[in-house]
């Protein structure tokens, strides 16, 4: 059943052209099969890179912020995020447009993930059919990362393959 779902997604991807710029809306929709200048990898290759520790993994799935106007004493619980072990989570950095503070947050997060090595392979992901990771991989290229991989299936593909996940804590955003 899982294989059928991913086969159907691959067929839809062949019909989705790459936009000329970032995707600005409808982020959970079929994605293209390509990203100019980046490697597009599947779960098998992502696992190989992860096991060999030859790439930095960066999750860009959004995260709802804690509401600022919660009454004192109100309990707030973040939604847990199961992530590929060892990843850095940079929520909200896959939108088509970023505020300057979030663009800086993304740059600093990639520097942390790659230890400042812009030639190190960086794998960007979120979920299957998620334009956030496509946008983020494109953005990583534009800021000077020379070895970028986009893991289209994200944690959905990772989970379907029975690979381990761990609960992640995001890097604190500029306003936190």
Cα 76 to Cα 64: distance, rounded to the nearest angstrom: 11
Mean pLDDT of the chain: 91
Q: Report pLDDT for 14.
A: 62
Average the pLDDT over 119-140 and give the result. Answer: 97
Statement: residue 67 has pLDDT above 90: no
Is residue 57 within 8 A of residue 154, CB to CB? The reply is no
Q: Report pLDDT for 11.
A: 47
Greater model confidence, 101 or 7 = 101
Average the pLDDT over 133-137 and give the result. Answer: 98
Q: Report pLDDT for 44.
A: 98
For residue 142, the tally of other CB atoms under 10 A from its CB is 11
Statement: residue 145 has pLDDT above 90: yes
**Residue from 22, 21, 149, 171 nearest 105 by CA:** 171
pLDDT band at 48 (very low <50, low <70, confident <90, very high): very high
pLDDT band at 173 (very low <50, low <70, confident <90, very high): confident
pLDDT band at 46 (very low <50, low <70, confident <90, very high): very high
Average the pLDDT over 63-85 and give the result. Answer: 84
């Amino acid at each position: 059943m899982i294989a059928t779902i991913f086969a159907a997604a691959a067929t839809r991807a062949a019909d989705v052209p790459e936009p000329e710029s970032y995707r600005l809306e409808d982020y959970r929709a079929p994605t293209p099969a390509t990203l100019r200048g980046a490697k597009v990898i599947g779960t098998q290759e992502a696992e190989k890179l992860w096991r060999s520790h030859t790439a930095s993994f960066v999750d860009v799935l959004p995260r709802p912020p804690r509401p600022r106007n919660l009454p004192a004493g109100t309990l707030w619980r973040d939604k847990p995020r199961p992530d590929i072990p060892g990843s850095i989570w940079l929520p909200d950095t896959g939108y088509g447009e970023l505020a300057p503070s979030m663009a800086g947050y993304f740059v600093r997060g990639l520097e942390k993930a790659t230890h400042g090595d812009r030639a190190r392979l960086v794998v960007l992901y979120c979920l299957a059919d998620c334009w956030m990771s496509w946008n983020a991989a494109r953005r990583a290229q534009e800021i000077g990362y020379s070895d970028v991989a986009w893991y289209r299936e994200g944690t959905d593909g990772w989970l379907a393959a029975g690979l381990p996940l761990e609960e992640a804590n995001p890097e604190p955003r500029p306003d936190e």
